Structures are given as C-alpha cells and as structure tokens.
Amino acid sequence: MSEQLNHLHLLVRADVQKPNTTPEAINAWLTELVAGVGMKVLIPAQSVLCNTDGNEGVTGIVCLETSHASIHIWHDGYVQFDLYSCKAFDVDAVLDRFSIFDPTRIDYTLVDRNSGSFIISTGSRLNTIDPGDMHGTLLAVQQVLASTRAPEV
C-alpha cells in the first residue's frame, strides 16, 4: 500500500546576516536541506546568480520526487523560500536549516493544499536569544500567537 499523499506548501521570508550568495553554496544548501528532511532529489539543485539592478542575488531550485524547493537570497540578506511537497515534512527541521545564514528573523506560513488552499500554521522566529535554542524560540512564539488569536465565530 502506498503512503497517503499530504500536499503541504511552506513559504518562508527571512532576514539574514550571512547571505551566502554564490550558486555553489545555494546548491549545497538545497541538497543538504532535501537530505535533512528525508526527501529525495529528482533533478539536482540548480542555482544562478542574478545581477539585475535591485534584484541582485542567487535563485536556486531543486526538483524533488515529491515536488520542489526554491530560494532567492539577495545580497542584502533578504530571503524568500518555498517548499512544496506531497510527502510529510517537519517544518522545524526545514527552518533550522536557515541557521547557516545567521537569521535575525524568519516568518513562515504553512498552507494545506489537499482540498483547496488554506493556512494551517504561521509563525516567526526572532533570533534575539541563543541560536542553539531556536526550537524553544519557535515554541514560545507559537504559544504567543495561539493566545492572541481572535475567537472563532
């Protein structure tokens, strides 16, 4: 019996202090990310340097057996990333991979795309404490968000 498909789309926006903006570094990061979250590469990571005024940085993509991951990281430390997969994945494990860029803030949205599209989770990570305790930081932020949500009507 095959595994039940679960279509999830993780969107990440981050501010980082060490934007490694070489295609080789982004290819390595994407490859490690895929292995680190237990997915399989279908088409190896490909990245390219963009020198268009106002858009300077690196764009990279890796095609997965279960969909794709893509990133654009600008020279000034702004990052946009997404991971779409029909294989389950651990959001914390994905977000932890950003530590190599020394993030000061990570905002994310997880979208359930199984029957329509709706947001099932959002959050932020602010790197104002020990970067080794990012999991604890995420849990604290999620608790704050949960306590401030408006009641359902």
Round to whole Å and give the CA distance between 153 and 151.
6
Residue 45: name the closest of 65, 66, 23, 67 by CA: 23
Go through 102-134 and write b for each residue having 16 or more CB atoms within 10 A of its CB, e for each that does not.
ebeebebebbeeeeeeeeeeebbbebeeeeeeb
Domains of the chain, earliest start first: 8-148 (3.60.90.10)
**How confident is residue 4, by pLDDT bands cut at 50, 70 and 90?**
confident
For the stretch 7-49, pLDDT in tens is 899 999 999 999 988 999 999 999 999 999 999 999 999 999 9
Confidence of residue 116 (pLDDT cuts 50, 70, 90): confident
DSSP state of 151: P
| Burial classification of residue 9, based on how many CB atoms lie within 10 Å of its CB (0-12 exposed, 13-18 middle, 19 or more buried) | middle
Average pLDDT score over residue span 94-104: 96
Q: How do residues 49-86 score in pLDDT, each as one tens digit?
A: 999 998 999 999 999 999 999 999 999 999 999 999 98
